[in-house]
Amino acid sequence: MIRVVGAAIVRDGAVLAALRGPSMSAPGLWELPGGKVEPGESDREGLARELREELGVDVVVGEHLGTGSHGRVELHVYVATLVSGEPVAREHAELRWVGPDALGTLGWAPADRPVLKPLATLLRQTR
């Protein structure tokens, strides 16, 4: 299994969704931003590094929200809070802030789908 971490970056009752670009695997699917954990990194360290690289932001990584898997990928999603920077799509085709009622309107990557229900609950609590 390939361990991957994703961030539920929450702001004003919405989460940041990222559209996979044409040069990425599974292009055209939406995902929570993140990436692979490097050897010697904790999930939280790897997620913070990936978000600096992919989005140009610094975050505080909080609680574990849920886990999804597809094929050889095991995705661990954590709630994250922006502390500096505004997200920029450096690798993704598009970024979008999505509220709880719009989560189901996007074509999500299979590994992300299991966390949509707890994510919607979290977003409704932060409104």
Q: What is the pLDDT of residues 11-24, one digit of tens each?
A: 999 999 999 988 77
Q: Does the pTM exceed 0.85?
A: yes
The model's pLDDT over 63-86, given as tens digits with 9 standing for 90+, comes to: 999 999 999 999 999 999 999 999
Domain segments of the chain as ranges: 2-125
CATH superfamily of 2-125: Nucleoside Triphosphate Pyrophosphohydrolase (3.90.79.10)
Distance between CA atoms of residues 69 and 1, nearest Å: 9
- Give which of 54, 46, 38 is closest to 95, Cα–Cα: 54
Any idea what DSSP says for residue 50? H
CA distance 15 to 116: 11
